[in-house]
Amino acid sequence: MPDLPREPRADARPPAPRVTAVGDRCWVVRLTLPDLNLDLNLGVVAGRDGVILVDSGPTEPLAAAVLDSVAALQVGPVTHVVNTHAHWDHVLGNAAVRARHPACAVLAHEETAASLRDHVHTFQAGVGEAGSPYAGSAHLADLRSAGILPADTSFSSVHVVDLGDRVVELVHPGRGHTAGDVVVHVPDAAVLFAGDLVEQAAPPSYGEDCWPLEWATALDVVVGTLPPGAVVVPGHGDVVDRDFVQRQRDAVGVVSATIRDLAGQGVRPEDALTAGDWPYPVEQLADAVRRGYEHLPRGARRLPLA
């Protein structure tokens, strides 16, 4: 029997980023990377005097591929890159964007700017270790070697970028997925890039740096900025609408309320996952419970009854 041609690894040559228009001069750039378990959205907002790239992707070569896609839009050079938060899959392309567009400003919430170096160092130190989900990735060398470029412009609440014929609002609606979440709102197009405060491809990601008791309040602010008919681009997955964000707000609100209820009843944190009635699979809520208990004021926790 003749040798069959061997199929290349799925990610040996990643598919080109998929670019979709979601509003007037607003695009989603989607990277589907099964090898990294990622279905990631970046964003592009173009104006007369500049172009904003929302997040920079998980490696420098992938960021370069995204920049090729942006160049094909023929809207001019990237003038701003916004990091919606400090997680590696959203920031490891920063240096590649700066290399291609040296005048480009990097913007983020001040918590994201301050924590980015530590966050990426920790990720890069562990990414190749046995047990890491990325140890066998075709992108491993690129994950490890990506340069670290924290934001050079940071803000605590709101920052407005003037693109000449339109303004774009960068808003920190509060803590949720991380302490430094930022959404990118394009009011004249009714488009909002939500980072990982909103996720469509999977339940919202509660990681070791999440703020589970405050997430719903942050999403209240997001919903409050959205007109009916707005397009919301989540950090991962398909584009959604305001109703979807409202439903996710309600579910993360249930997570928060359940943590408060259980703690108030004296349920110990190690028992909370089995004691609660959760809106998401419990195996994804360990950090939510741990962090939620830590963030509760002392008076909201009762000692277990002997």
Pick from 196, 199, 209, 214: which binds Zn ion (CB under 5 A)? 196
Q: What are the residues facing 163 on neighbouring strands? A: none
Of 100-108, 130-138, 192-200, 249-257: span binding Zn ion (CB under 5 A)? 192-200
CB 90 within 8 A of CB 135: no
Residue 118 vs 165, nearer CB to Zn ion: 118
- Of 6-14, 55-63, 86-94, 242-250, which part binds Zn ion (CB under 5 A)? 86-94
Amino acid identity of 229?
G
Please tell me whether residue 291 binds Zn ion under the rule CB under 5 A. Answer: no
Bridge partners for 192 per DSSP: 185, 232
Q: How far is the CB of 205 from Zn ion (least distance, A)?
A: 6
From the list 128-136, 191-199, 286-294, 295-303, the region that binds Zn ion by CB under 5 A is 191-199
**Residue linked to tokens 């920049």:** 67
Q: CA separation (Å) from 166 to 74, 107, 108, 231?
A: 18, 18, 20, 17
The region of 24-32, 54-62, 195-203, 246-254 touching Zn ion under the rule CB under 5 A is: 195-203
Site membership for Zn ion, residue 199 (CB under 5 A):
no
Cα 1 to Cα 155: distance, rounded to the nearest angstrom: 64
Asked if 175 touches Zn ion (CB under 5 A), the answer is: no
**Interaction with Zn ion in 100-159: which residues (CB under 5 A)?**
none
Q: Which of 30, 87, 119, 242 binds Zn ion (CB under 5 A)?
A: 87
Long-range contacts of 28-32 (CB under 8 A, 24+ apart): 28/233, 28/239, 29/66, 29/69, 29/70, 31/57, 31/58, 31/62, 31/66
* Residues at the contact surface with Zn ion, assessed by CB under 5 A: 87, 196
